């Protein structure tokens, strides 16, 4: 995984996401989820191509239950784009890279 993508937890979520000056794309995932692994190249592309405009974070739903529950994450992968502490976009499932990029970049 790209060095531009970092893992966060229930305890680091507020500081890493809600207080971020840049928009943050949070990938809610689990290690056993095949579609979650399918979108990794798309996340790496976003993290590298737009590294001065967006942060990409991963939150494991098996290891962290508080934040997924708060944001009503019912299936994975789910991507939430936060900007100024608010959810601006929700992407559910393993969409093609072009679609993920199209949805996210309109907020950058």
Among candidate residues 25, 26, 33, 95, the one labeled active-site is 33
CA distance 19 to 85: 6
**Residues 12-39, mean pLDDT to the nearest whole number:** 97
- Give me the pLDDT at residue 4, please: 87
Quick check: 29 and 58 in contact, CB under 8 A? yes
pLDDT digits (tens, 9 = 90+) for 85-95: 999 999 999 99
Q: What is the pLDDT of residue 1?
A: 54
- Average pLDDT estimate for 42-66: 96
33: annotated active-site residue: yes
Kindly list the distances between the CA atom of residue 47 and the CA atoms of 2, 36, 43, 70, 72, in Å, as whole numbers in the listed order: 8, 16, 6, 25, 25
Active-site residue flag, 36: yes
Catalytic site residue from 17, 24, 25, 36: 36
Going along the chain from its start, the domains and CATH numbers come out as 5-105 (3.40.30.10)
**pLDDT reading at 108 higher than 60:** yes
Per the CB < 8 A criterion, the answer to whether 107 and 23 are in contact is yes
For residue 35, give the H/E element and its range.
Answer: helix 34-38
Question: Tokens standing for 76?
Answer: 């994975």
State the pTM of this model. Answer: 0.95
Contact 22, 51 (CB under 8 A): no
- pLDDT of 2 > 80? The answer is no
């Amino acid at each position: 995984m790209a060095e531009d993508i970092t893992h966060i937890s229930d305890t680091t979520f507020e500081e890493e996401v809600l207080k971020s000056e840049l928009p943050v794309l949070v990938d809610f995932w689990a290690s056993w989820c095949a579609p979650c692994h399918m979108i990794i190249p798309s996340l790496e592309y976003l993290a590298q191509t737009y590294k001065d405009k967006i942060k990409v974070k991963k939150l494991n739903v098996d290891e962290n239950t508080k934040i997924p529950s708060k944001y009503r994450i019912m299936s994975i992968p789910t991507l939430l784009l936060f900007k100024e502490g608010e959810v601006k976009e929700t992407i559910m499932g393993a969409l093609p890279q072009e679609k993920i990029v199209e949805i996210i970049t309109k907020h950058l």
